[in-house]
Structure 1
């Protein structure tokens, strides 16, 4: 199971500050929204996924760390919802064995929790500007997104053991890993946004 440690958050903060400096220098010569997105995505664990999932929103994001974090959260939420719907439909399939159905049901509950946590973080993000409790709010957002990451990762627990190996497990794992990677990227970009507000 993935754990978000304070050391990891600290590492992200240092990385974000370094990338913000290089981004500022880069935009003086090549002031494009795509460059900002590419540079920002380098602060994530999955930069290519970050860029691919957000490139179509570059003109909306422009060079705003807040818009970037919002867009990432929105994409992660939409993907989590789609995956939850897929797993719900799959759990009702005629060829599903009882143990597989149970694992899918448990997974679906974890994903529903993740959806609620991501929704809460997006709502909180919309209230940050002008607030005098920015630090507390950012901490709440990071906590919710970390919880969503843990919930998504926990989804696979029911598929542990060789008896569960097969096509179903492979398909579910692929979709869950995609959500985990998107959520991890969102957490990194939120941390960069928090760093930019302090700077």
Structure 2
């Protein structure tokens, strides 16, 4: 069975996000998203490193997974609905990254740490933005 081209393009983006090594932040992800990441990390060689790295971004990882899943259903009768879902999930990643950096407002944060986190969030935002552009361009 041939994989749809859009799903083929989104999967590498998801893989990149899954393996980005980012410092842990103070924000806690929703328990369901955290459990999703924990389950997925169980198949890796370095489980604790995977969890430590991704749990702070669990909702973004989950939303990218949802976007990929939605893209897989674009051949179904409800194509427009699935396309809207994929766009929503990709947009949510951008919102989550912005929320993370907004958390520095009015707080004393080590400038080096703040710069590193902002840089990481900017990278995630760019990846999600590319995914959203591909979704919009392909459909």
Give the aligned partner of residue 78 of structure 1: 15
Give the aligned partner of residue 7 of structure 1: none
Give the SS at the match of 1:160: coil
Structure 1 unaligned blocks of 5 or more: 1-65, 89-103, 195-199
Moved segments of 4+, more than 4 Å: none
Deviations 1:102-138 (A, max 9, x none): xx121x6362111111101111212222x11111110
Distance verdict in 2 for CA 1:78–1:155, change over 3 Å: farther
Give the aligned partner of residue 147 of structure 1: 92
Give the aligned partner of residue 175 of structure 1: 120
The reply to whether residue 156 of structure 1 matches residue 101 of structure 2 is yes
TM-score by length of 1: 0.49
Give 1 or 2 for the bigger CA radius of gyration: 1
Give the aligned partner of residue 69 of structure 2: 123
Structure with greater helix share of residues:
1
In 1, distance between residues paired with 2:98 and 2:19? Answer: 16
TM-score by length of 2: 0.68
Give the SS at the match of 2:120: helix
Give the aligned partner of residue 131 of structure 2: 186
* Higher relative contact order, chain-length normalized (CA < 8 Å, sep 6+): 1
Give the SS at the match of 2:90: helix
Distance verdict in 2 for CA 1:165–1:71, change over 3 Å: farther
In 2, distance between residues paired with 1:71 and 1:105? Answer: 33
Deviation at 1:87, TM superposition (A): 2.1
Give the aligned partner of residue 105 of structure 1: 26
